[in-house]
Structure 1
Amino acid sequence: MDSLQDAIRVIEQDQMDPGVLGGDVMTAAVDEVVRATAAAYTEQSASYEQAREAAPWKWDEYLTTTLLERVRSRIADGSLPLGGAERWRLLDVGAGYGRDVARFAEQPDIEPVALENADGFVRYLHRAQDEGRIGPDGVMVTDMRDLSAVEDGRFHCIRVHATLHHLPLVSHGLGADAAVAGFRRVLAPGGVLYVLVKSGTGVNVIDTGEGLGGRFFQLFTSVSLRQLLERHSFSVVQMEEAVEPRPSGNVDWLFALAVAE
């Protein structure tokens, strides 16, 4: 695939006529999206840290509290057995420069792992390890579609915060479907999946006006997100929408909590 725009044209064609294009063509298109997204975040990793260094938006804090309360309550009532583990294991997918995973590491009952594939962010995460803010086994360098190195049922919670929308909804079990299938496999029975995505329809390259440049986004409706999760044996237990005010314009968000059946 020659460019991101070529990949987007292929993705849009597949979304209009699912399955008409072959798996090899679609694989190349999704790979280009992943490559371009990782490159954009690597190029702007310092700008991204500066844009996100302020305290989290109030709704972000609410979402984190909601997630932690859900996981802890399921552990307490026996719906999510720890299998002898002293702490419950959380995979933070698309952890960026590690602000949130470092905060999770401060919690006495959580063993967090950061997953990231943008080289610029990986350097930040390794620095956080060197400084002792993330554990020695707390960084996984891979594409979120490839969790082959992770054993089945390894994690009790997976947090996919503003990350899944960088993969398209396409046929052949690729893109977002490949990632969610992997999440389901590595979640323990009864485990909790957290997903936050931009709300809307279609795909596009969007510059959010924060000095980060244009990035690929798959926008989700409540129906498309629910369908994605349910076809991979997740039961959606909570779904909410919110509008975040930003200087560059309002951002529509869609949040879901789901349980591995």
Structure 2
Amino acid sequence: MKALIAALLLSAAPAMAFDIDAMSDDEKAAFGEAVREYLMANPEVLIESIGVLESRNAENAAENDKLLVSQFQDEIFSDDHSWVGGNPDGDLTVVEFIDYRCGVCRRFNQEVHDLVEADGNIRLVMKEFPILGQDSDSSARFAVAVKQEAGDEAYMKAHDALITLREPATLENLKAIAVDIGVDAEAVVAAMNTEAVSEVLRKNHQLAEKMAIQGTPTFVVGDELLRGVPQAGLTATVNEIRARQEG
């Protein structure tokens, strides 16, 4: 605990740097008691120090995430298998790692589409990242198979159907979606377990692992990685990131 207090004090005031290990046992005891007495009398100092430490940790994490985006930018923005929509020549690319059975992904799906449509200058990339069980995997395989068999327009129809599907992602329900969106149901279902589809999901999972992405939705906006939906809202956050990059 004393070490933690010392670390917090040092993080809040670097000028106070000293080597606590150079103290004698009596000096350490006296120092610990003095710190305790001071913090008991001024608890707001500890709260402030913790806030500074958390802020610095958040800044370091954001910088590390930027390095990850830079390191894997080709796989993130320019792979040969992900669906790309919005404005292909837009000034900002938004990438979403998505699981069709993810409740948060479902709630924010319309906001993503509204943002892209209203902005008009966003390039949108979708990456299937099924992590919530068999229905997630089946849904992702169906979406990728539709793209490979019937193209990008059919993929987006499948995407919209899957993100609102309340029933289990059984083959029967997936075939019904295929019929509704006007693609060959048998061909798509037959393609779901092919190596071509498996390779797409494998590459997405490998990329997520390299970037320490463990949940959905996860967004990459320009050079910044957003782990989850930002509290300020996606539209406001995208506008802030664009302004930073333009500045």
Where on the TM-score scale, by shorter chain, does this alignment land: which range? Answer: under 0.3
TM-score, structure 2 as length reference: 0.27
Which one has the largest radius of gyration? 2
Q: If the length of structure 1 is used for normalisation, what is the TM-score?
A: 0.26
Instruction: Name the one with the larger helix percent.
Output: 2
Instruction: Choose between structure 1 and 2: higher strand proportion.
Output: 1
